[in-house]
Amino acid sequence: MREADASHDQHISPALPEIGPVLEHLEIAWERSRATLSTAPLSSIQTRVMYVIDREPGINLSTLGRRLCAAPPSVTRLCDRLQAAGFLRRVPRPEDRREMRLELTETGIAHLHDIRHRREEALRQAMAHMSPAEQHALATGLSALRDAVDAPAPIHEQERTA
């Protein structure tokens, strides 16, 4: 193991024993609240597609596929289903009418709003049992985790997956 990897592992490892059980409790809480937190009538992957398109309106199919790490035929089928359900529309790109931009419909936007609202309410209820300092620490930690997850993979890691 390289020195940088070793120091990196030493930096994060003390927190791991505490985080694992928290994740397990979150899974139990999400499962218990399945009806409240459901993405129905969409699957979780269809909802992921909608989240990506919501963050990047006008994204094309190939870029969406890269964001999802999914094969082009799978992405096309997902978008076909979302379009048939009225959640998504394909719009020709003005500069190149052969390329389609993906956008959420008003129905799609409303569905995501509903999912987010229900999830925020569930989190609000859980966090009501936390002190303001604990709430702030949680928000800070989750923001850092989001940034770490969104960061590009280190070069040595990319080489292993290529």
Across residues 59-68, what is the average pLDDT?
91
**Per-residue model confidence as pLDDT tens digits over 124-147:** 888 899 999 998 988 888 888 888
Q: Is the pLDDT of residue 158 over 50?
A: no
Residues with Cβ within 8 Å of residue 152, at least 6 apart in sequence: 158
Token pair belonging to 23: 């994740």
**Cα angle 90-91-93, degrees, rounded to a multiple of 5:** 130
Residue 10 has pLDDT above 80, yes or no: no
Mean predicted confidence (pLDDT) in 33-52: 83
Compute how many other C-beta atoms are within 10 angstroms of the C-beta atom of residue 90: 14
Kindly report the pTM of this predicted structure: 0.70
